[in-house]
Chains A and B, each alone.
Chain A
């Protein structure tokens, strides 16, 4: 059983297709891969290779049609929205290319949001959130709104938000896509530090130097993993 537990993510023959009009588009064609706990993995692939779809499935933001997805020892097949929300809240953290902070909330409130949905009282929530803002070096920006911050700062707030609920896995969709190279390397350094604490990190990117900073890279080609 030991080997099984160390695999935080097991994907077995995952299939996913979209129907647009009369056309059926097979995006994932039986994808299989495992990710171990504490790994930092890059997912690469040209646009249309299915990497965003894969990330959405991994993040329980989208369903899959066939195959098996085991996250932290539990099957994710046929989850309803409520159960998916529960798993997201318990196991997953998200970092997006466009940060996806809520514009009318301060940095602190944005970071505290996942805790709000775990029914943690406001005071406690804010203490925890401030702690994580400190971790990303932004405690002085707690009361600022997202539009008062730079791209790099926004992404660090988003990373703090992804971390705040102590997830097992962080899913990052092009986390440096909107950042300049200096900021990008800062953000990557931060993600690497977080990974060092034992949190599994999955980063979707199309930049080779970003992928090079990860433990290994999964190449997607046309809905399948390129093993070449």
Chain B
């Protein structure tokens, strides 16, 4: 090498030199690259598939906020402070105020009440049409816990609560069942158990699957109006809570429980007096499952990649032996050991990278194909949706592959420079 000549990674000359060597035996080049290509293909497809499964599950959960929790009262199972076991107790509005003031790990307290329910009798009518729907008494903040998409009109607001307005936000399915096609629902009225409500908004859920149907058949009315109209008065059916993201779900749950137990004179160790369900713990479970999936696909893909790299190393070792004479001639023509080493290394890395990229391309193309198929089948693929792989993951896989390419190249390169030019030329 001349003084001052820099090492250029994308030296066209060297690339052409490498291509020429590979095209001398294209079938063998193809076979040796197959292993690495297959390894990366497997990684992309399995990671993509597990992401698809994850996306499917996430979509069934409908973007429900992760740090949400539901809490309800049951029956005490331990005697405490003069009360016998088996006592029933209810939450009320003063408990709501108490929680808002005292629970430090709770960002939002949403008391709820419900009317009707699954397979209930017809409770909502409009003219001659009627249906059985879930009717919820809610506060405006509830939309933060279980988001819905407002299709027209608006959601509940604080004025509705303060003035106990008789207004309702209805689900998409309610609209379909109670209204003829061309009728504008906003401003119209419906009767819920005989009480007249004015419709102010229509929504649809973000969820997919079975939950979605149920959700779209619901009606939201102001919490205060609910109490008055359906005589729940002061009582709270259950709580939906939005917790501080920085506090672990279990910790905030414990805080709320112990506050409420104290206030409702429930034994601190009574585990059955209140029920709770938190999205976070559900998510954690699902997420650890998917993390395991991903880990498995990386381990197996990585092993496939390793096998591929060993295959390439093997072929390169054979190639170097076969090319003893050629390498000797190159040495006689002025190639330094470094040049020869660089040539063999570049060939190995080039072959590894090219086959890897082809593997990735085929993998991504397969995922896109599946995506296309799912979409053409009607968009919603149930618990398998939008299989995808992040660029970041692909880059990591390619990085690992590059490192393997380098390692695979070392032994053949060392063999190549061990060839002395005179021996090389002697070989006939």
Contact = CB atoms under 8 A, between A and B. Distances in A.
Contact of A88 (B16, B23, B334, B428): B334
Contact of A62 (B5, B20, B21, B420): B420
Given A82-B336, A85-B337, A102 B421 contact: no
- The majority secondary structure among interface residues of chain B is helix
B337 A117 contact: no
A117 B340 CA distance: 10
A4 interface: no
A104 B24 CA distance: 7
Nearest to A83: B336
A114 B5 contact: no
Contacts of B21: 104
A105 B31 CA distance: 23
Interface string A181-225: 000000000000000000000000000000000000000000000
B334 A89 contact: yes
A85 B331 contact: yes
5 contacts: A59-B332, A81-B336, A89-B333, A117-B333, A119-B2
A98 B337 CA distance: 24
Interface of B: 1-2, 5, 12-13, 16-17, 20-21, 23-24, 325-326, 329-339, 417, 420-422, 425, 428
Given A98-B428, A102-B329, A104-B21, A165 B338 contact: no
B384 to A, nearest CB: 49
Nearest to B338: A82
Given A100-B425, A104-B24, A118 B336 contact: no
Q: Which 7 A-B pairs have the closest CB atoms?
A: A89-B334, A117-B334, A61-B422, A85-B336, A104-B24, A114-B333, A62-B422
Interface string A75-107: 000000110011011100010101011111100
Contacts of A56: 422
A90 B21 CA distance: 26
Given A116-B13, A119-B5, A100 B325 contact: yes
Contact of A117 (B325, B335, B421): B335
Given A62-B422, A81-B337, A104-B21, 16 more contacts: A61-B421, A61-B425, A82-B336, A89-B333, A100-B332, A101-B329, A102-B326, A103-B326, A104-B20, A113-B330, A113-B333, A116-B17, A117-B330, A117-B334, A117-B336, A118-B334
A122 interface: yes
Nearest to B2: A119
A203 B58 CA distance: 81
Contacts of B13: 116, 121-122
A121 B420 CA distance: 27
Nearest to B13: A122
Contacts of B332: 59, 61, 88, 94, 100
A161 B333 CA distance: 9
A82 B337 contact: yes
Contacts of A96: 425
A209 to B, nearest CB: 25
